[in-house]
Structure 1
Amino acid sequence: MSRSFVTTHILDTVSGRPAAGVSVELLAAADGWSQIASGVSDADGRVNGLGPDILPPGRYRLEFATGEYFAGRQLTTFFPEVVVTFSITAGEAHYHVPLLLAPFTFSTYKGS
């Protein structure tokens, strides 16, 4: 599978392991939000085939179904979903948006 323009890697900081099986949606801003692609994190917590090979500049968002992930592990979470909104600018070759996840906190950053 080829790598898409936007990728993510989800790590469960409670277990110290990749978060496999998390549903992720990629959306674009255009008179509201429209879904471009969706995927599920693999055994390594990665979603590499999320959307097209290139996206035009604009605002995008990743929506992570964290509530379902933690419910599957019989854990309560404060965040039923995590939404990360970001801007794509011209001239970038790839956007990697990692998510560090726990039931009551999360963190993200622009990866490489």
Structure 2
Amino acid sequence: MNTKRLQRIKDHLLAENQCSDMATPQGSPLTTHVLNTGEGVPGARMALSLHRLDSHLAVWNLLTTGTTNDDGRCPDLITREAFTPGMYKMRFETGQYFEGLGQSCFYPYVEIVFTITDPTQKFHLPLLLSRFSYSTYRGS
């Protein structure tokens, strides 16, 4: 196996380990996948954070931070135990991501706010992104 291929595998494994301090072997009930639709590639190595709203204080509490892997995924964001009903916000650092590609973008970050009523379900939050637009939906 050549050195370049070994380095790519190593980088991929390191990126997967960066996803969260709250990672669990069973997998997270909440996952994400960033796709750079302008280039037709995964949104690799994008910083993101997950927050939950404290409704009594009306403030967002940071739960975890992560970085997408080479496939644009961050599969281990939060444990089942920490995933409770409430309002959540996932913030993607899109400006930093595009800056790392040597490109400018219109949106310096993207925040997606969503409500969880049944945390026993699986939730997937894809982000389809280009320099001047984005879209998301609830996957499973």
Q: Once the 2 structures are TM-superposed, how far is the Cα of residue 91 of structure 1 from its aligned partner?
A: 5.7
Which structure has the greater CA radius of gyration? 2
Look up the match of 1:13: 37
Within a 5 Å distance, the mapping from 1:1-112 to structure 2 comes to 1-30=25-54, 31=57, 32-54=59-81, 55-90=83-118, 92-112=120-140
Larger strand proportion, structure 1 or 2?
Answer: 1
CA contact (8 A) 2:29 2:120 kept: no
Distance 1:103 1:21, change over 3 A: same
CA contact (8 A) 1:2 1:48 kept: no
Give the length in aligned residue pairs: 112
For 1:52, give the aligned amino acid: T
For 1:29, give the aligned amino acid: L
Cα distance in 1, alignment partners of residues 120 and 106 from structure 2: 34
Q: Once the 2 structures are TM-superposed, how far is the Cα of residue 4 of structure 1 from its aligned partner?
A: 1.1
Cα distance in 2, alignment partners of residues 53 and 20 from structure 1: 25
Identity of aligned residues (%): 38
Off by >6 Å, runs of 4+ in structure 1: none
TM (norm. structure 1) is 0.94
Cα distance in 1, alignment partners of residues 26 and 69 from structure 2: 14
